A and B are shown apart, each in its own frame.
Chain A
Amino acid sequence: MKLTGDVIRYGDNVDTDVIIPARYLNTSSAKELASHCMEDLDKTFVARVKPGDIIAAGANFGCGSSREHAPLAIKESGVGAVVAKSFARIFYRNAINIGLPIIECDADIAEGDKVEIDFDNGELHNLTKNTVTKFAPFPPFLQSIIAAGGLLNSIKGAAQ
Chain B
Amino acid sequence: MGMTMTQKILAAHCGEKSVEAGQIIMADLDLVLGNDITTPVAINEFNKAGCDCVYNKNKVVFVMDHFVPNKDIKAAEQSKQIREFARDKGVVNFFDVGTMGVEHALLPEKGMVVSGDLVIGADSHTCTYGALGAFSTGVGSTDMAAGMATGKVWLKVPPAIKFNLTGALPKNVGGKDVILHILGLIGVDGALYKSMEFTGDGVKSLSMSDRLCIANMAIEGGAKNGIFPVDGVTVAYLKGRTDRKPVVYEADPDAEYERIIDIDLAKIRQTVAFPHLPENARTFDDIPDIPIDQVVIGSCTNGRLEDLIVAAGILKGKKIADGVRCIVLPATQQIYLDAMEMGLLKTFIDAGCAVSTPTCGPCLGGHMGILAKGERCVATTNRNFVGRMGHPESEVYLASPAVAAASALAGKIAPAE
Contacts and interface: CB of A to CB of B under 8 A. Distances in A.
Q: Does B bind A? A: yes
Nearest to B387: A40
Given A21-B387, A22-B364, A155 B150 contact: yes
A27 interface: yes
B44 A17 contact: no
Contacts of B78: 26-28
Contact of A94 (B121, B142, B366): B142
A48 interface: no
Interface string B384-411: 0111100010000000000000000000
A117 B138 CA distance: 30
Given A26-B78, A27-B78, A156-B50, A90 B45 contact: no
B140 A25 contact: no
Contacts of A151: 142-143, 146, 154
Interface string B26-68: 0000000000011011001110111000000000000000110
A26 B67 contact: yes
B192 A65 contact: no
Given A22-B365, A41-B386, A66-B124, A97 B188 contact: no
A90 B139 contact: yes
A26 B224 contact: no
A21 B189 contact: no
A27 B41 CA distance: 9
A52 interface: no
A89 B138 CA distance: 9
Interface in A58-112: 59-60, 63-69, 71-72, 86, 88-90, 93-94, 97-98
A40 B222 contact: no
B405 to A, nearest CB: 26
B72 A66 contact: no
B123 to A, nearest CB: 5
Contacts of B92: none
Given A13-B277, A23-B365, A66-B140, A18 B387 contact: yes
A150 interface: yes
A27 B388 CA distance: 18
For A65, A150, A151, A153, the residue with the greatest tally of chain B CB atoms inside 10 Å of its CB is A65
B24 interface: yes
Contacts of A88: 189, 192, 222
Contacts of B388: 17, 22
B38 A66 contact: yes
Contacts of B139: 66, 90, 93-94
B74 interface: yes
Nearest to A145: B154
Given A17-B385, A86-B192, A63 B41 contact: no
A147 interface: no
A18 B365 CA distance: 12
A59 B222 CA distance: 11
Contacts of A98: 140, 142
A113 B46 CA distance: 39
A90 B383 CA distance: 16
Contacts of A22: 37, 66, 364-366, 388
B100 interface: no
Contact of B366 (A13, A23, A142, A153): A23
B331 interface: no
B75 interface: yes
A86 B188 CA distance: 12
A74 to B, nearest CB: 13
A6 to B, nearest CB: 25
A53 interface: no
For B74, B140, B383, B387, the residue with the greatest tally of chain A CB atoms inside 10 Å of its CB is B140
B40 A28 contact: yes
Nearest to A26: B74
A40 B146 contact: no
Given A28-B40, A60-B189, A65 B49 contact: no
For A71, A88, A93, A142, the residue with the greatest tally of chain B CB atoms inside 10 Å of its CB is A93
Contacts of A60: 188-189, 192, 222
B154 A141 contact: yes
Contacts of B138: 66, 90
A116 B78 CA distance: 40
B193 interface: yes
B141 interface: yes
Contacts of A150: 142
B146 A152 contact: yes
A25 B408 CA distance: 30
14 contacts: A26-B75, A26-B78, A27-B78, A64-B124, A65-B123, A66-B122, A66-B123, A68-B142, A69-B37, A94-B140, A97-B142, A98-B142, A141-B24, A153-B49
Q: Which 4 pairs between the two chains have the least Cβ-Cβ distance?
A: A94-B140, A26-B74, A97-B142, A152-B49
